[in-house]
Amino acid sequence: MNLREIKIALTVDLMNQIGSQHSIASVQNAMSRYQTELGSFMGSTERNGTSLGDGIFGKTIALHFENMTLNLDLVTNTHSSEQMIQGFDLKENFA
């Protein structure tokens, strides 16, 4: 499976999930299906965060795997604790 196929499969997986307040965990679960291509999960880092106004907060979380990095753009409503994925970018790690 190549990078494009993983992106399409992840998009379909995310679209088929019922709304979840634990978006990062659900993405990690979906990504576990592609462990052969991605390699082991190495950890995550929070890249940036910004207030979007009226209790809405946006941030980017990078999920690091041995062969690829998945950047998730998350939007959180601090009033309801609801977290949504706004977008993602999957890139290959080059040595």
> Closest by alpha carbon to 35, among 14, 9, 57?
9
Per the CB < 8 A criterion, the answer to whether 79 and 55 are in contact is: yes
Q: What's the pLDDT score for residue 60?
A: 94
Q: How far is CA 57 from the centre of its chain?
A: 16
Q: How confident is the model at residue 43 (pLDDT cuts 50, 70, 90)?
A: very high
Q: What's the pLDDT score for residue 28?
A: 83
Per the CB < 8 A criterion, the answer to whether 48 and 58 are in contact is: no
- pLDDT tops 80 at residue 2: yes
Q: What's the pLDDT score for residue 91?
A: 93
Q: Work out whether the CA dihedral 6, 12, 16, 18 comes out positive or negative.
A: positive
Give me the mean pLDDT over the 70-78 stretch.
91
Per the CB < 8 A criterion, the answer to whether 35 and 22 are in contact is: no
- pLDDT tops 70 at residue 3: yes
User: What pTM value is reported for the model?
Assistant: 0.83
Structure tokens at 10: 């992840």
pLDDT > 70: what percent of the chain?
Answer: 93
User: Residue 36 burial (CB < 10 Å; 0-12/13-18/19+)?
Assistant: exposed
Give me the mean pLDDT over the 17-42 stretch.
80
Question: What domains, with CATH codes, occur in the chain?
Answer: 3-92 (3.10.450)
